[in-house]
Amino acid sequence: MKKNIFLLFSFFILSLGCKSQSIKSQKPKLVVGIVVDQMRYDYLIRFANKYGNDGFKRLLNQGFSLENAHINYIPTYTAVGHASIYTGTTPTNHGIISNNWYDKYLQKTIYVVDDANYKTVGNNSDGGKKSPYRMFTTTITDQLHLAQNMRGKTIGIAIKDRSSILPAGHTANAAYWYDGGKQGTWISSTYYMNTLPKWVQDFNSLGKADEYLSKPWTTLYDIATYTESIADDNHFEKTFKGEEKPVFPHNIPKLRKKNKNYSLLKSIPGGNSFTVDFAKAAIIGEHLGQSTDVTDFLAISFSSTDYIGHAYGVASKEIEDTYIRLDKDLAHLFQFLDTKIGTGNYTIFLTADHAAVQVPSYLKSLKIPASYFSTKKFRKFVNEFTLKQYNSDEIVENISNYQIFLNKEKIASLHLNQNDVAQTIADEVIHYKNIYKAVTARTLQTTTFTTGVLNYLQNGYNQKLSGDVLLVTNPSVISSLYTKKGTAHGTAYSYDTHIPIIFYGNGIKKGSSKKKYNVIDIAPTIANLLQIEFPNGTTGVIINEVLKK
């Protein structure tokens, strides 16, 4: 009897060991986070007939797609999006409130990842004086490093510096971004390293940027089949310098000199292909996904989609061709991962940092309400009001990012109450054309909004960094800087917030969901998959539907 009990007990212990080993082996060797800059959810649907089976459709058919996924804060900008995706929270916690913003302590406008404490690695330009120090919280990439006692590697890659640096987090092994102009190479910062690894130097010496800039940009398929977009020759799109019309073909070799040389690569689909080439080189050069007991993380952002979207708008032939080509780039990347990492050994998520609105002048031509907002004219209006109300046009210190920053010293010298002044200004500017909401910082500090645009505004408000009066424009209103050509983003309206979120690979179920989820839910979901702690500011939730039991 004792012998039987001993055998049963031994079998139980063995089974626990096997179960533990099984759980451990289920973790992916590599997580690949993909952010497509300015990708609307409807691009998955509109261009579906032009996609192959191995890119977007592979993710949709074999992964798990969230069809009602949104960004849940204002402003919907690139830096804010990348920070929110990877920290699992909104600007109210992570502190990245825009790409550029007015620093009320320094009393000047700053750029999100600028950091004079570091130098460029890779060339003699200033393009590498960067770091993630303005991001207050940890990222999923930081947490993976902490959970593995700093073992494993985290690499960030993007043409835009902010799109590489913020996802890679504070503890990254490296972040790389593209230096255009006269350079045409991938660079980094002394925040991460003192010299570029040999594989990066070797890649830069290949001259791939010149290769992509040496041929015209033509449509991949017959342009007559691009029926999902408006006429190629229209009045709603920008042109490259040196072009008379915004039409195909775009003679890239001829246009290169007038369009900042290597920087032109950012604004054509070749920039996305170039990014995939570099990502493949990183996987090989850094031996990502090759360890048997730790998980590596590769954060990739495709930036050219944003440059092209801004110039041509969401209904253009150019944006349609860009996504058809990106679909092929993704297929090549996934096939490469199958070969180098192994099918079932990696996990992917694909999402966007924001979407975009249809070109307002195009909407107006269809009698759909849309307009343009001039910050310069608005500043004049506000100054005239404060001069009349308080006998001073120095009450306002700065207006930017649809925020009003008050001059605290001037207000004090006039013996005025700061909160009263802010509320008085908010009550007045609500009457200004195309202003939909005007809310004071005090209101956002003392009232909880759980739904609607004010909830999004509150999620994007950071008490330490944001302005004293925050504004929301009417739908389909963008900055007048766009001169009625091209488009923008930044609002809480669905055209800016409805983005794709797709999970695929190790630990992910097949399927889709129409339930509403937020982009900040990605990080805690990946953390749960990896069985590690959430980023320390997380306010998102685990998306149970996507994970295998």
Q: Can you tell me the mean pLDDT for 314-342?
A: 98
Alpha-carbon distance 289 to 453, whole Å? Answer: 42
- What is the distance, to the nearest Å, from the Cα of residue 65 to the centroid of all Cα atoms in its chain? 18
What amino acid occupies position 159? I
Q: Can you tell me the mean pLDDT for 233-241?
A: 97
- Residue 68 CA: distances (Å) to CA of 33, 494, 519: 19, 10, 11
Quick one: what percent of the chain has pLDDT higher than 70?
95
Average pLDDT, whole number, for the chain?
A: 95
2 has pLDDT over 50: no
14 has pLDDT over 50: no
Catalytic residue among 78, 139, 351, 424: 78
Question: What one-character DSSP code corresponds to residue 359?
Answer: P
Question: What one-character DSSP code corresponds to residue 342?
Answer: I
Please list, in sequence order, all residues whose beta carbon lies within 8 angstroms of the beta carbon of residue 450, skipping any fewer than 6 positions away.
none
Token pair 């320094």: residue: 106
- What does the pLDDT look like over 345-367, one tens digit per residue? 999 999 999 999 999 999 999 99
Token pair 């097949």: residue: 510
pLDDT computed for residue 504 by the predictor? 98
- What does the pLDDT look like over 484-513, one tens digit per residue? 999 999 999 999 999 999 999 999 999 999
pLDDT computed for residue 15 by the predictor? 47
Quick one: what percent of the chain has pLDDT higher than 90?
94
pLDDT computed for residue 17 by the predictor? 46
pLDDT computed for residue 67 by the predictor? 98
pLDDT computed for residue 468 by the predictor? 98
What amino acid occupies position 23? I
pLDDT computed for residue 481 by the predictor? 87
pLDDT computed for residue 544 by the predictor? 97
Alpha-carbon distance 446 to 442, whole Å? Answer: 6
Q: In the annotation, is 347 catalytic? A: no
- What does the pLDDT look like over 151-162, one tens digit per residue? 999 999 999 999
- What does the pLDDT look like over 176-203, one tens digit per residue? 999 999 999 999 999 999 999 999 999 9
26 pLDDT band, cuts 50/70/90, is confident
pLDDT computed for residue 7 by the predictor? 43
Q: Which helix (H) or strand (E) element contains residue 299?
A: strand 296-302
Whole-model pTM: value is: 0.94
Tokens of 321: 């061709």
Confirm if 249 and 217 have CB atoms less than 8 A apart.
yes
Question: What's the farthest any 2 CA atoms get from each other in the chain?
Answer: 98
Tokens of 163: 């799109």
Q: Can you tell me the mean pLDDT for 457-481?
A: 97
Q: Can you tell me the mean pLDDT for 135-160?
A: 98
9 pLDDT band, cuts 50/70/90, is very low
Residues present in the chain in total? 549
Confirm if 215 and 252 have CB atoms less than 8 A apart.
yes
Alpha-carbon distance 460 to 441, whole Å? Answer: 12
Beta bridge partners of 406: 396
Task: Report all structural domains of the chain as residue ranges with CATH numbers, in order of start.
Answer: 27-64+104-342 (3.40.720.10), 371-482 (3.30.1360.150)
4 has pLDDT over 70: no
Confirm if 263 and 128 have CB atoms less than 8 A apart.
no
Q: Which helix (H) or strand (E) element contains residue 94?
A: helix 91-94
482 pLDDT band, cuts 50/70/90, is confident
Which of 230, 297, 290 lies closest to 487, judged by CA?
Answer: 230
For residue 105, the SS3 value is: coil
